Structure 1
Amino acid sequence: MDPLLHTLPEARGLYAFRELFEDTGWTLKVPAASGPQTEDILLVDKEGQSYHAVLKSLHEGRPDRVTALFAQALLEARTRARKARVRPAVLIWVSSASRSLTDRLVDFHQANGNREPFALLSMDGTQYVEFPGLRLTERPGHLTSPHRTVHSAPPRVVFTDRFQWMIKLLLAADIKHADLIAAAPVRYSTATELARAAGVSTMTATRLVNALKAEGFLELSPYLKLVRRRQLADRWKAEYRKPPLALAMKFALPAPPDDLLRKLLKKHTGIVGLFGAAEALGYGHVKGVVPTVWVDNLKEAQTWRALRLAKDGERPDLILQEPGFPQSLMRGAVSRDGIMVTDILQTWLDVSAHPARGAELASELENGILATVIGDNA
């Protein structure tokens, strides 16, 4: 069972660190046999460097108790990392972290550590992260004490699943027709409002807001407004250059493909994407392309009784694909005639890298319905 389904302090800490690392492009893995109180975590950065981290969680943030726990975690991380032949790291989560606690841990680490990466997070918004390529020093309303040098690297926009969904929410108010995306056409004044609408933590929304602002993509007044959208759009599209996992399928029974596809989607969960979605939304002009359906689990979907794998050289009736960013894709999906299709922004992203006239359709969307959203007129 996924430890994040639990509400124990350990699980809250694990959830907070999963959001932190995944929102900055890292991978966080929990051993399969671990229970809800797991302390062992495998972290992998964007370059493939691995760390065995030990997570300690406490409700209270007394500096003496947390420092003792930090020392225990450091020893455990060193031992376990040595066996796994990776680097050790320490993660500390508390419900509330004072400035004195952060300072004390930094001092203790400098005196007793061996440059092991460590991070402190709290429910009140404190972040102190010292990992290679990932350095953050934040407290609600102020930075660390004046006598310290802030090592925070300028935040950079990383197009994680949750970040993409929040960017869609920030753009939804500028989409001319509300039925093109399952997001309310409203403006957000604060990261807290955005977090509430997106169903993420305030800390995660704050990281996105800070990163967008640092790179010049966001104005904060009178509301959170995305700017330089053409440059942002180009960066966003680049995340879709890597082809998704896909399978070419044939229908098992002879019948009109459109009828079979509709029956299939009424029985199984799937979302029509790319050119089929564009046509369903009223903005498709590319004909003759094999329809694509996004599914939760490609391995499971290929066993659906109505389908079989297409043979080599056989033209498929259907392409099944597994999304790399499932939350953003599924949350934005809209219904058309009882069938779910990807929203207009997701459709644009997906077709942008498609070899069969995808760039042509993406350009048409950018200069048409999305011209004031992410196009040259935005």
Structure 2
Amino acid sequence: MKSASELALANLLTNFNWDVAYRDSVDNHSGLTLKRGPHYYIAAVKTASEARSDRVVALLAQAILEAQSYAKGEADAKPLALVGVNELPDALIRRVSDFTGHFASDIAFGLFGADGRRYFQGVELAELTSLEERPLSRGVSAPQAFNLFSDLNQWMLKVLLAPEIPLGMLSAPRKEFGNGADLAEAAQVSQMSVSRFLSVLRRDGFLSSSRTLRLVRRQALFDRWKASAVRVGPEQPFRYLIQGNDDGQLKKFMTRYRNEACVGLFGAADAFGLGHVSGVTPRVYVRKLSNSYDGQQWKGIRPAREGERPDLFLRQPTFPESVFRGAVASNGVPATDAIQVWLDVSSHPARGREQAKLIEDTLINRLIENTT
């Protein structure tokens, strides 16, 4: 199973024109291979639960040893050690740089934070460094801990983009907003939440200074948004009680639970005509999975037994408000909106990149270009 750090990093590297592949080794360790032109890295990826320098340095040392082992016997391959952290303060960068300078000066390495900051050393890797998103010091007001891609903030991003998105691809108010009060009313979000949201957008350079609220620097915004969406909520495999036409059974289930569920990922892409991948078991978002594994609150389905092929997966979304508020109806069946599908499939192992590319070509790139 790929870690969230690997998925986020793979998305980032792909945006910088690196060819990225997942690598599974015989000793059950995992990593990435990176290729661009003559440059070839084999990377070991670690994740730190907190930005403590002792913990990060220890993980980096482990990643260096693993990457060196991976690269042995691979012609032209160089080792690359990578560590993901929840935040990336300057002090941590200095501490890690001191360590590598003393003990591993010839090894490429990278640190990448959930706060959007990145630091890389190595041939052709320095361009990945981005230190613009500087975290504030402890004790300094709320924006430091404010998550631009929280549940309601993702919903508000969709509302700001809605006038540029076809009706059948997103359910949201469609109007221009002159101020935060207008956005709060339309999005049904508190004015305090909107005020904090707009403050961070301005701080990070994603909001124009025009008379209306308009998103700018959208390429960077969408890159960060996609990287923030790799965390997947819990899901459970199910079988239909009555076996038959899978599409008919799914529609029957969705009709029964239309206010509590919506189709996601590849099935949702099919719903608004952007489907590209077939044969993937449907994912259905529900607001909350059962606290037990018996699944008895869902009529017409039962939990799949070990060894059985599931007919569908029920998944509890990490960001339920953004998922359900933006859902669209296709032939009476709710499905997640086009932006949500793009976020969800971008890191999916079953041909997700192909599906994401189609949505990018059809919608996302147009949104990015439309900043004038």
* Stretches (4+) displaced over 3 A: 131-134, 152-157
Q: Which residue of 1 aligns with 2:150?
A: 160
SS for the counterpart of 2:365 is coil
1:165 aligned partner, one-letter code? W
Mapped partners of 2:185, 2:269: distance in 1: 29
Q: Aligned match of 1:294 in 285, 294, 299?
A: 285
Q: Which residue of 1 aligns with 2:307?
A: 313
Mapped partners of 2:341, 2:197: distance in 1: 23
- Alignment gaps of 5+ in structure 2: 1-48, 52-135
Shift of 1:153: 6.3
Mapped partners of 1:327, 1:153: distance in 2: 22
Matched, 1:357 2:347: no
Mapped partners of 2:222, 2:348: distance in 1: 16
Mapped partners of 2:221, 2:337: distance in 1: 19
**TM-score, normalised on structure 1?**
0.58
Q: Which residue of 1 aligns with 2:262?
A: 271
The answer to whether the 8 A contact 1:156-1:212 is kept is no
Q: Which residue of 1 aligns with 2:159?
A: 169
Q: Which residue of 1 aligns with 2:5?
A: none
Matched, 1:237 2:226: yes
Matched, 1:285 2:276: yes
The answer to whether the 8 A contact 1:178-1:184 is kept is no
1:364 aligned partner, one-letter code? L
Mapped partners of 1:349, 1:334: distance in 2: 16
Q: Which residue of 2 aligns with 1:194?
A: 183
Mapped partners of 1:289, 1:134: distance in 2: 47
Cα 1:273–1:133 change in 2 (3 A) is farther
Mapped partners of 2:275, 2:161: distance in 1: 21
Aligned positions, number: 235
Q: Which residue of 1 aligns with 2:65?
A: none
**TM-score, normalised on structure 2?**
0.59
Mapped partners of 1:153, 1:333: distance in 2: 29
The answer to whether the 8 A contact 2:230-2:344 is kept is no
Shift of 1:223: 1.0
What does 1:214-233 correspond to in 2, within 5 Å? 214-233=203-222
Mapped partners of 1:244, 1:157: distance in 2: 18
Shift of 1:220: 2.9
The higher relative CO (CA closer than 8 Å, separation ≥ 6) is in: 2
What does 1:72-87 correspond to in 2, within 5 Å? none
Mapped partners of 2:175, 2:145: distance in 1: 26
RMSD: 2.5
Cα 1:250–1:162 change in 2 (3 A) is same
Cα 1:218–1:328 change in 2 (3 A) is same
1:236 aligned partner, one-letter code? W
Mapped partners of 1:254, 1:339: distance in 2: 20
The answer to whether the 8 A contact 1:178-1:185 is kept is no
Structure index of larger Rg: 1
Shift of 1:317: 0.7
Shift of 1:370: 2.5
Mapped partners of 1:165, 1:372: distance in 2: 19
Shift of 1:305: 3.4
Shift of 1:133: 3.8
